[in-house]
A and B are shown apart, each in its own frame.
Chain A
Amino acid sequence: MDIQVEIRSLDKLFSAYFRSQNPRFSIMKLTEIRRFLPILFLVLVAACGTTTTETASVELNCEADGPFFEGVNSLMTNYEVKLSDIITKEGIDASMLKEVKLKGAKFVLNDEYLADGGITSATLQIVSDQTEMKSIAVKNPLALVDGAFTLDVSEEADMSDYFKENMFTLVLDVDLVEDSYNESLSSSISLELELTYKE
């Protein structure tokens, strides 16, 4: 009953407004507008869902085959997105994701020689089939402590588009001081994420 009263008063409001703009505005058009009011109401209700932010950790291992040459070499890994593994709340799907921010990126190299000052800088990028490559973290110069290093993360980069796909690729570019004839090079990756979703 109250809603009907509301709608009637909205009708009057619309009517007064449109007549002031265009005197030929017909009552017929007002009826058409009223037809869309329930949809508008539903849109407003949907927009008022609860927004939740939680942190999550992702552990990965990236690698590349040697030999490696002085300068930038790339280590890569694919990540298969499974939101139920990283979000504690059940039933959250990709369409509910609003924002995914990288809060921390830590790496541990498996190579003793390189771990001892063999790398001068590192850049982490993310890419997928549907979404363009984006730099998300960097460290230059690089300070290695027992083969471990932490990158400075971009505060602007939003990774949510990548988490809406089935899979994405992480590309770690490391700048080597000199050639290395190792068969392979790998590093463990630990990413701290902040995920915001709307229920």
Chain B
Amino acid sequence: MLGLVLFMAFGAIAQAEADRLTGVWEPSHGKAKVKIDKIGSKYYGRIVWLKEPIDEETKKPKVDKNNPDEKLRSTPLRGYRILKDFVYSDENEWSEGSIYDPENGNTYNCVIKMTDENTLDIRGYIGISTFGRTDVWKRLKMPSKKKK
């Protein structure tokens, strides 16, 4: 009985640790904000804000015009899931996922490392993680209400 209680307690702690990834994050370029949430046992991040939401050519909200699948090119960029299928591995790291770059339509393998509670190192790579690029994302904090 005690063993079961301890097992459940450790499970809850591990879950809370993994769920620290959820929230709204801003990439270093500042052109978008990405909300990470959980579906099933994996983590996904979708664009919830764009600095320039309107396409200069079409004068309409931006769409995923570089999607390799022609039938899906009308998918709106706002709301697009660019981070997919991340699993908490250990030691502040979420792996086995991918990141999509809407500017060229490419999908890269990706590892997320939380360097502190409000900072993520997002490393996109092809093949092995040695050959890739890391971007630093910052957690978006809600402005606290001022006391009167």
Contact residues of A with B, CB < 8 Å? 71-72, 74, 76, 120-121, 123, 125, 127, 129, 132-133, 135, 138-140, 152-157, 169, 171, 173, 175
Contact = CB atoms under 8 A, between A and B. Distances in A.
Contacts of A157: 69
A173 B79 contact: yes
Contacts of A121: 74-76, 79
A154 B70 CA distance: 8
A116 B111 CA distance: 42
- Tier of interface size on chain B: 20 to 34
Nearest to A173: B79
Contacts of A76: 39
B106 to A, nearest CB: 15
A132 B97 CA distance: 8
A132 B84 contact: yes
B23 to A, nearest CB: 16
A72 B48 contact: yes
Contact of A129 (B41, B44, B72): B41
A74 B84 CA distance: 15
Contacts of A138: 71-72, 74-75
B69 A156 contact: yes
A151 to B, nearest CB: 10
Nearest to B47: A72
B71 A127 contact: no
B75 A153 contact: no
B85 interface: yes
Residue in A127, A140, A157, A169 whose Cβ sees the most chain B Cβ within 10 Å: A140
B81 interface: yes
A132 B84 CA distance: 7
A72 B46 contact: yes
B81 A125 contact: yes
B63 interface: yes
Given A125-B81, A132-B85, A140 B75 contact: yes
Contact of B63 (A71, A140, A155): A140
A112 B81 CA distance: 28
